[in-house]
């Protein structure tokens, strides 16, 4: 088939020139790198221009020598119209923006102020001193080895 008149410039790279018998013609390269599914209705109509969508066989992109039937599965449909190409471009831009956003957020988080270890140490010492005081205070009220055992168990979780 010739490249359709409604084909977008960006879609032309998905066609290749080949020969059938004597004459040359353009063919849709179902496994072209960069082909992604776009809005297509179950009856195979492009959701943007209404033309018949074209199949994608992503499994044929990176085949090894152990070819399998599954490589030939149709993995999706797309169209060569402007809007279909816009859809892929739009998706790529959204993805890039999300990645940039994550990078910016990570950079911003890296500049967050660091808590002081010395201040924390002072705080922890205070907490421990209070625990120690309270434990020794409790010891004064111990009447039996059982009470002492209970107190010791309680201190384990402090």
Residue with Cβ nearer Zn ion (46 or 56) = 46
- The answer to whether residue 81 forms part of the interface with Zn ion (CB under 5 A) is yes
Q: Which stretch binds Zn ion (CB under 5 A): 44-52, 58-66, 96-104, 122-130?
A: 44-52
Which residue is associated with the tokens 């080949």?
A: 18
Q: Of 48, 49, 52, nearest to 77 (Cα)?
A: 52
- What six digits make up the tokens of 129? 């001193």
Count of residues binding Zn ion (CB under 5 A)?
Answer: 6
Distance CA 158, CA 142 (A): 19
In the block, tokens 């009447």 appear at: 143
Nearer to Zn ion (CB atom), residue 41 or residue 120: 41
Q: Does 60 bind Zn ion (CB under 5 A)?
A: no
CA distance 52 to 44: 6
Q: Which stretch binds Zn ion (CB under 5 A): 84-92, 99-107, 119-127, 130-138?
A: 84-92
Listed in sequence order, the residues at least 6 apart from 119 whose beta carbon sits closer than 8 Å to its beta carbon are: none
Among residues 48, 54, 58, 78, the one that binds Zn ion under rule CB under 5 A: 48
> Which residues form the interface with Zn ion (CB under 5 A)?
46, 48-49, 79, 81, 84
């Amino acid at each position: 088939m010739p490249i359709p008149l409604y084909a977008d410039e960006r879609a032309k790279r998905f066609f290749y020139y080949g020969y059938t018998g004597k004459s040359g013609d353009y063919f849709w390269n179902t496994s072209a790198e960069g082909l992604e599914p776009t809005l297509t209705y179950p009856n195979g109509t492009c959701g943007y221009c209404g033309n018949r969508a074209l199949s994608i066989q992503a499994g044929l992109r990176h085949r090894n020598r152990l070819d399998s039937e599954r490589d030939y599965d149709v993995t999706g449909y797309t169209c060569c119209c402007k809007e279909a190409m816009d859809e892929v471009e739009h998706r790529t831009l959204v993805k890039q923006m999300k990645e940039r956003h994550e990078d910016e957020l990570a950079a911003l988080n890296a500049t967050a102020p660091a808590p002081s270890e010395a201040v924390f140490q002072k705080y922890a010492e205070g907490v421990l001193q209070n625990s120690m005081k309270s434990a020794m205070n409790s010891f004064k009220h111990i009447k039996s080895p059982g009470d002492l055992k209970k107190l010791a168990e309680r201190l384990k979780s402090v």
